[in-house]
Every structure is written in C-alpha cells, then in structure tokens.
Amino acid sequence: MGRQSPITKTINQVAREYAKEQKQAKAREEKAKREKEKEAKRLQKENEIKIKEDSINLAKQITQKSKKQREEILSLLKNINSNKETINWELLKDHSNYNGLLELRKLPIKPLEEDYKIKLKLLDYLIPNRISKLENQAKNRYQEDLNKWEVEYKNIEKDNNQKTSMWEESRKAFENRKSIKNNNIDKLKKEYEQGKKEGVEFYITKILSKRKYPSYYKMTCEVEYIPLNKILIIEYALPKKEKIPNLKERKYEVTKKDYKDTLLKETELNKIYEESLYQLCLRLNYDIYMSDIANNIEGIVFNGYLTELNRSNGLEETNCILSLQTSVETFMEYNLTEVDPKLCFKRMKGRAGTKLSDLVAVAPICNISKYDKRFIKSHEIGDKVKGYNLAAMNWEEFEHLIRELFEKEYAKDNVEVHVTQGIKDGGVDGVIIDSDPIKGGKIILQAKRYTNIVGISAIRELATVVSDEGAMKGILVTTADFGRDSYEYIKDKPLTLINGENLLYMLKKHGYEARIDLTEAKLQIKEQLKDNTFSKIKTTN
C-alpha cells in the first residue's frame, strides 16, 4: 500500500474521532436511559409502597370509625350529665326587628317664579313691545313647568303613600306575628311553671330536641302529660338494628390490591342493639327528671315502638317492644353509670321480650290518649250520649254503655260480653268470653264512674279476681285516671288500665260522641246529695 496523503490521513482521523464521539454519545444515552428507567422503577416502587400504606391506614381509619360509632351508641349511660339542663325561654322568642325596605321616590323640587325672571339686554329696550313679549314667554314657561311639577308631585306622592301604607301594614303584621309568638312563649312558660298539660309537654319536647345523642338515636317521639297524676307518657320511635355500623374490620390485601371487610356476627349485632335500646330508655328517663326544674313530673311511662316489615304479609307494622314505668323518687336513686342496662330495666319491672332483637310485641303499661277534643264538633253520631258528661251519668246507664262499648270493641272476634253485677258506687263488673280454642279465654272487665283518681286497692282487687276466676286478663276502665302506684303495680301483671281520655277515644271509635268533665260532675253530684238530703228531711218532718 502506498502512503496516505496528508488529506486522507486528516479525513480518516476526523472519521475515527466522529465514530468515537458517536459511540460515547450512544453510551451516554443508554446510561441516561438506564438511570431514567431505574428512577422510574424507584418512583413506582415508592408509589406502590405509599398506596399500600395509605390503603392500610384508610382501612384502619374506617375500622376505627365504625368501632367509635358503636362505642358512642353504647355510651349513653356513661356520658350522663349531672347538670340540670333547661331551656332559655327568652331565646325561644323572636327578638328580630322588621327589615322590610321602604324605597320612596324623591319628590320633585317646586319651580320658583324668580328663577324665570328675564335678564334684559340693551337691545330689548330698543325694540317696541320686546320686554312685554319676553315677560309673557317667561311667565308661560313658569306656569307650564309649575303644572308639570304639580302632576308629577301628586303622582309620586300618591305612589309613596301607597308604598308607605303597604310597608306599615307589613310591619304591623310582622309585629303582630312576633307578639303572638312571644306571648305564646310567655303563656307556655307560665303553664309549665304551674304544671299545666300544654306547658309541660312543650317544655319536655324542647328539652328532648336539645339532647345531643349520637345520630343513631333520632329524637322522634310524642309526649303526653297527665296533670292529675303527674305522669309523663313518651312514645318513642326506636331506631332499627340495620342502622348500627356492622363493620368489624376492614383490611387491605396487598396481593389482591383490594379491601376485605369482616362484619359483626348476628349475635354480636343483636347484643349491641338490645343494650342500646335499654340504655336509651333509661337515659331519657334520667334526662327528663333532671331537666324538670319545676318538679311537675313524678312518674314517666316510656313506650318504645318499632316499625318493621312483616315478611308474612309484606306490610310495615308498628309494635311496642319495650315499656317502662318509673317514679322520680326511686329512679334517681340508681347509679346509672354503673348499672347493667338490661338488668336495671328488669329490676324496674319493665316490659320487653326475652330478646329485644326478636321484636316481640308487648302491651304498653299506659298509652298516649288518641282522643282529640277538636274533633268533637265534626261528627253527629252516638245520639244517646252525644254531649253527655260520662262522669255524671247514672250508674245503670253507665253500666249499659260500657257493655255496649266492649261488645262493639270485640264484635269482630265473636266474643260475648256479660255484665254480671252493677255496683251503685259507680263500678261495673263484667266478663268477656272468647271461645276461640287457641287465643280465647276469660277477661274480667271492671269500670269505675269516678271523679277522683282510682285507688290502688281497686287494682289489687281486680288482680285477685283475675287470679280467682282463672282469667287470662283484667281490664279496668274509669272516667277519671289512675295513680303512679297503680301503673307501677300492673307492670308485671296481665292487667290493662284505661283512663278517661282513652275511654273517650274508644267511644268515638265506635260512634259515641260523649265527653268527660270531672269538675262539672263533682258539682252535679254535690247538688244531688243536697237534694236527696233535703228530701229526706222533708219526708221526716
């Protein structure tokens, strides 16, 4: 081979250097790519670790939240507040000011005659009649503007007067509504302090609405206060078991990258549900007694109702599944923060099935009266007793009325009602016989046409008769009411007490439009006794 020329050598040298540089560049590029891929893998791994940790933490948080919610549900008795919580009557009033806007149009400014005076120039004096002509023109302009002003002023003034009148009417209506509301609050406050029915019911309803129970316990209830025996009846819509958070644990499965839930067993859920209802019943009693600063309430009857779907007929049914009657003297002696709710409920002779989760219906110790005096005038039925005061009725007529009433009450069941004895002290003895071989039996019926509270001795006598006769149940009806000791006595006995309000409801249901006025009856009976005494004296003479 011949020797390479300098140019060729140079070209080859450049080519080698270029090739070397290209190789180095490619190596750098591949290294950068490897580092980038390595960094991506590192970031991906970090992200996967973060997702894993976040998922595990989220699962723990959800598990803790569910557990905390269940703990709150079961903490009603542990979180009892010993302070008396009342309502601030002034905060219930409307202290706002009327904020209606009164937007009036601006009245136009009356034109002034001096503003229309002409300013004469030298030329005006030189032209004949020029001044008088200018003066007439100015006077006409003034009169024209004055006429326009008068029309516009009257229209705006009329419009403003109408707006002011409407505003004033609206303000007066606002003040009237405000006054009615505030006067009603004052009236209810006074009625509560005096122990009157409407005032006490309003006060307790407000107290219950203020209670900060866990959201599981919806404060849906009705209350009725009976001034005669100072008993408050509560009918509470119990929460459903399905509302209890049933998540026991949530875990994040790394291999599946998904969550796995472990739910509470049915037995665990039933236990929580049962204890929650017993706690609710006891806690409500406590809160009401503690909040009753006027000491109007001496006893409480709590009836817990549950609405559930009946799978046998596909219809929703509402039943009472627990009922408890307490007295303030004995109830407030309990240390509720340390009691077993179920054992405490049973000790107080509350009514409930063996397991509340079985939703077994029980008879309420005492019901809220469904009778409403507002409905009396809307019907024209039951002519025989229409408007009659049952508390002053002749005892024989009362006897027949009770018999007819219970015949109608049990008519669909094909039972027989027999009045066995009439007692001139206002009592009626009767027997209801149901010949059904499964659910039938004998029911002892007694009714007292009384104007005062029926004593516990009458309830004890009925219990004895029920036992002696081998009856399955006893019913005592009165035109008056029963004492707290009577409701306490029947809690574990097959006895039903029907007071005057419930009697009126039963009568209305079957077409009788009667009434009960104990004060009026007492006066009538007193007058009758006077007349009888006078007649005897006259006969003797």
Same domain, 415 and 526: yes
Domain contains 71:
no
Q: Which uninterrupted H or E stretch holds 347?
A: helix 341-347
pLDDT exceeding 70 applies to what percent of the chain? 88
Distances in whole angstroms, Cα of residue 202 to Cα of each of 191, 289, 307, 501: 10, 15, 25, 19
Could you say which of 193, 227, 249 is where a domain stops? Answer: 193
Distances in whole angstroms, Cα of residue 220 to Cα of each of 69, 211, 237: 20, 12, 6
Same domain, 189 and 224: no
Mean pLDDT in residue range 432-437:
71
Domain contains 521:
yes
Domain contains 152:
yes
DSSP string, 358-394: GT-----SSPPP---GGGGGG----TTTTT-BGGGS-
pLDDT at 376: 29
- Residue written as tokens 């008519």? 411
pLDDT at 373: 39
Of 180, 185, 186, 177, nearest to 98 by C-alpha is 177
pLDDT at 285: 95
Segment 64-99, tens digit of pLDDT? 999 999 999 999 999 887 777 888 999 999 999 988
- Predicted TM-score (pTM) of the model is 0.65
Same domain, 169 and 226: no
pLDDT at 212: 83
The Cα–Cα gap between 172 and 132 comes to: 58
Domain contains 7:
no
Structural domain including 247 reads: 211-352
Bridge partners of 228, per DSSP, are none
pLDDT at 374: 31
Q: Does residue 349 carry a pLDDT above 60? A: yes
Q: Does residue 532 carry a pLDDT above 80? A: no
pLDDT at 410: 78
Domain contains 200:
no
The Cα–Cα gap between 391 and 454 comes to: 13
**List of E strands, 267-314:** 299-310
The Cα–Cα gap between 35 and 17 comes to: 26
pLDDT at 66: 92
Q: Which uninterrupted H or E stretch holds 262?
A: strand 258-263
Residues in contact with 292: Cβ distance below 8 Å, sequence separation at least 6, in sequence order: 203, 204
- Higher pLDDT: 427 or 186? It is 186
Domain contains 219:
yes
Of 454, 455, 506, 494, nearest to 478 by C-alpha is 454
Same domain, 475 and 406: yes
Mean pLDDT in residue range 351-380:
65
Domains in the chain, number = 3
Same domain, 184 and 217: no
Domain contains 83:
no
The Cα–Cα gap between 266 and 276 comes to: 15
**C-beta separation of 368 from 233 below 8 A:** yes
Residues in contact with 150: Cβ distance below 8 Å, sequence separation at least 6, in sequence order: none
Same domain, 244 and 169: no
Burial tier of 222 (Cβ tally within 10 Å: 0-12, 13-18, 19+): middle
Segment 111-148, tens digit of pLDDT? 887 777 777 776 766 677 777 777 788 788 888 888 99
Residues in contact with 87: Cβ distance below 8 Å, sequence separation at least 6, in sequence order: 203, 206, 207, 210
Ramachandran assignment for 470, one of left (phi > 0), alpha (psi -120 to 50 degrees), beta (any other)? left
The Cα–Cα gap between 339 and 504 comes to: 40
